[in-house]
Structure 1
Amino acid sequence: MQIHVVQPGQTILQIARLYNSTIAAIVGANELENPNQLVVGQTLVVPIVGSFYWVQPGDSLYTIARKFGLNYQALAQVNRISTTQPLQVGQRLYIPPTPRREAEINAYIEPLGGTVSAELQQSARNAAPHLTYLAPFSFQIQRDGSLKAPPLGNLPNIARANGATLMLVVTNLEEGQFSAELGRIILTNDEVQNRLLDNIIAAAGQYNFRDVHFDMEFLPPELRENYNNFLRKAKRRLSAEGFLMSTALAPKTSATQAGEWYEAHDYRAHGEIADFVVLMTYEWGYSGGPPMAVSPIGPVREVVEYALTEMPASKIMMGQNLYGYDWTLPFVPGGEYAKAVSPQRAIEIAAENNVDISYDTKAQATYFYYTDDQGRQHEVWFEDARSIQAKFDLVKELGLRGVSYWKLGLPFPQNWLLIEDNFEVVKR
């Protein structure tokens, strides 16, 4: 698979010829609405076997081979050049495909308004072939230990038809917010806990869920060990019934990290108790905060590297967003919230406003600025093929279990193609 960044003046025909591909193949892979209106800085994935690399200043055959996990002698052989021949800046080398490694892929899906819309069901159909788990969000705990189920529509059938395991996501959401008080009730009352676990097991059996996923957030710090003990109890019950159990963890970089979202999440305990965990490594850039990358590679790496000191890589699923944000400038704390946008819509906005797309190499994220019809300036950060590939490279470098996406519903066709190019998706 080739990731191509559109250059000034390039056309879709020129790009197709550059890689011996076709316009139809590129348009289909990227779901281009208007292939004759490419944006400078836009990335395209070109569905070819292997990829091409243009030699940069300072490159050697050895460093290029190492970058792609290849033997430099084999790289020289496939390109019919000598291992001692100096490389020229701008020289094109063919990079043969490398073996894909196994990975588990999860995606949350959040039906709103009491139904699963046709658009959301179609999003699930598109993604499910590339998923290990499909996670409807969420089964909400009630104060008496009962569960309020989300609308499921045809999601169980979609999961079954594509070999995706249903994940039953359990949350302490109350009136749209994570509730510390609800968490306290559940984690300090054995009778309510036991009733809750009875209801979880019944719901999992009724809808054919195979993993139970606890996403309990905003818990009071003093309930840290209560939460750990609840998870131990839940694991015993769920394992006896043949279910997996997983948890979601706030993005911490140390065991002593302060803050109401972090202190009750004990990485070491979750790593020992759960079958796997999802690290919520996104929302550095968020709707109510200042403009920045949603999941910059540096902070993501810091969280994952801390997690690796507390649990094995085989238990870690790295969180990844499938969206970006459009901020109105100037940013004012407590003012207008940023609007979530899909990568596809972000590119359309750039095209409509005739602005180039830029790439922040430190954050490994894409951004641009534009001025709307009312004269207001905007800053947009979103994901593209480069930023996703950077995260996949991190998953492979650190040997992680896989990737977990928040959330389906905003189109990003390049992501799913890159999953298949990088990983052999495990089907449970």
Structure 2
Amino acid sequence: MQIHAVSQGESLYSIGKRYGVSWEEIAEVNEIGNSEALAIGQALVIPSDGNMYTVQPGDSLYSIAQRNGMTITQLANRNNISISAPLSVGQRLYIPSAPKRNVETLLYVEPRTPVSEAMITETARRVGDLTYLAMFSYQVKRDGTLDAPSTANLTQLAADAGALNAMVISNLENFAFSAELARDVFLSTGVQDLLFTEILEIAGRVGYRDIHFDFELLFPEDRALYNAFLRRARDRFHAAGLTLSTALAPKTSDVRTGIYGAHDYKAHGEIVDFVSLMTYEWGYTYSEPQAVSPLPQVEQVVKYAVQEIPRSKIFLGQNLYGYDWQEPYPPQGGQPAKAVSPKQATELAVAQRARIEYDSTAQAPHFSYYDASGARHEVWFEDARSIQAKFDLLKKYRLRGMMYWKLGLAFPQNWALLESNFNIVKK
């Protein structure tokens, strides 16, 4: 696969002619309904051999060639540049197809009651690209019992496609993560025993193979209690032939205070079978407009994680959404940002005739527009370039795989590039 940014005056037909593929193929892989509607700056996945790499700070021909199993001469010749030519950050280099690396994938699904036909259809479309389908979430109650989500036939769809079902256990209470609820569970081995017994019963009945704890916004002083809880859980679940995993907040050092303090990277790396790094939400509902998962910040989390956790246990988290902020922005008392899928964001840019810009530092696309009332909006989202940058990061640090939050937010380019970059492990 290659990635092309649309220039003024280009059409799917002219772009296809440039790359030697039909415009229909480009429209299909990018799920473009109106072939005449493109935005300047819009990224397109081109279904052709090889892919394009965006030069990052610190890159050299040598380092890029080495990561892709090539010599400097081969890389320079394929891009018609001199071996001695300096590279510029943001420069695009063509990388011929190379043997794919095996990776695992985990996708959260958050079904509502009743489970919609659209979610069932989308699950059926995506399970072939998954190692794990993670059902979010079974909510712990203070007595150790669980509130179960509606699942319809989603777990069966995953099993039929060879994807393992993961049972996500959360400390959500009244639609918010509760540190008090988690502490009640941590302080009572009786409550824990009841919880573990119920988890095992449900896992056996439904067919869950991994138990995934997503306990967030804990009291920082409960760090040791959470670790002890996970050790007891591991012993029960391993004895039953199940794996144990956790979601980890994005940290760049062993901070023991604040809302992330209870998440102990080193302990989780020792206790559980794998972790999912929640490397997103720098830009969020109540923030100033900015990238949701800017690459430099994501990489800082990864750098810290690999110091504390075996690389073979780390899933890199990736958002399948962006945000549309309206002035005045939330910090100044404005409305919260509206979540948009990458496909919705692109279609919005087309409808508003907005030029899509690309921030080469954050590795994220964005655009602005004015609505019918004259209010200015700023949209940051994900596209083929930004997800390829994350795939390159995964390769650079030799991580176990990718975790996605969440199903139902259309991002067709992600799935096309995922298949182009990797072989998805099935167990």
Overall identity of the aligned pairs, in % = 51
Partner of 2:400: 401
Would the alpha carbon gap of residues 366 and 401 (structure 1) be closer, same or farther in structure 2, given more than 3 Å must change?
Answer: same
Counterpart AA for 2:395: K
Counterpart AA for 2:264: D
Query: Does 1:299 pair with 2:273?
Result: no
1:97-136 to 2 correspondence within 5 Å?
A: 97-112=97-112, 114-136=113-135
CA contact (8 A) 1:328 1:336 kept: yes
Counterpart AA for 1:380: V
Return 119-128 or 166-175, whichever deviates more. Answer: 119-128
- Rounded to whole Å, the distance in 2 between the matches of 1:29 and 1:82 is 30
Deviations 1:315-365 (A, max 9, x none): 111110000000001213253111100111111111111110000011000
Q: CA deviation at 1:123?
A: 1.6
3-state DSSP of counterpart to 2:353: coil
3-state DSSP of counterpart to 1:138: strand
3-state DSSP of counterpart to 1:34: coil
Given the two structures, how large is their TM-score scaled by the length of structure 1? Answer: 0.93
Deviations 1:185-216 (A, max 9, x none): 10000100000000011111111000000011
Would the alpha carbon gap of residues 360 and 54 (structure 1) be closer, same or farther in structure 2, given more than 3 Å must change?
Answer: closer
Q: CA deviation at 1:95?
A: 3.6
Q: CA deviation at 1:143?
A: 1.1
Partner of 2:308: 310
3-state DSSP of counterpart to 1:419: helix
3-state DSSP of counterpart to 1:236: helix
Partner of 2:379: 380
Partner of 2:177: 178
Partner of 1:336: 335
Return 92-101 or 103-112, whichever deviates more. Answer: 92-101
Q: CA deviation at 1:65?
A: 3.8
Partner of 2:352: 353
Given the two structures, how large is their TM-score scaled by the length of structure 2? Answer: 0.93
Structure 1 residues not aligned, in runs of 5+: none
Would the alpha carbon gap of residues 241 and 63 (structure 1) be closer, same or farther in structure 2, given more than 3 Å must change?
Answer: closer
Q: CA deviation at 1:53?
A: 8.1
Return 165-174 or 114-123, whichever deviates more. Answer: 114-123
Q: CA deviation at 1:83?
A: 8.3
Tell me how large the CA RMSD over aligned residues is: 2.5
Would the alpha carbon gap of residues 168 and 86 (structure 1) be closer, same or farther in structure 2, given more than 3 Å must change?
Answer: closer
Q: CA deviation at 1:72?
A: 3.2
Q: CA deviation at 1:54?
A: 11
- Rounded to whole Å, the distance in 2 between the matches of 1:52 and 1:281 is 24
Aligned length: 421
Q: CA deviation at 1:75?
A: 4.5
3-state DSSP of counterpart to 2:307: coil
- Rounded to whole Å, the distance in 2 between the matches of 1:145 and 1:64 is 51
Query: Does 1:137 pair with 2:112?
Result: no
Counterpart AA for 1:299: Q
Counterpart AA for 2:12: I
CA contact (8 A) 1:72 1:83 kept: no
Deviations 1:63-96 (A, max 9, x none): 77457542234457778x8988999x9xx98642
Partner of 2:288: 290
Partner of 2:276: 278
Query: Does 1:231 pair with 2:220?
Result: no
CA contact (8 A) 1:235 1:274 kept: yes
CA contact (8 A) 1:61 1:83 kept: no
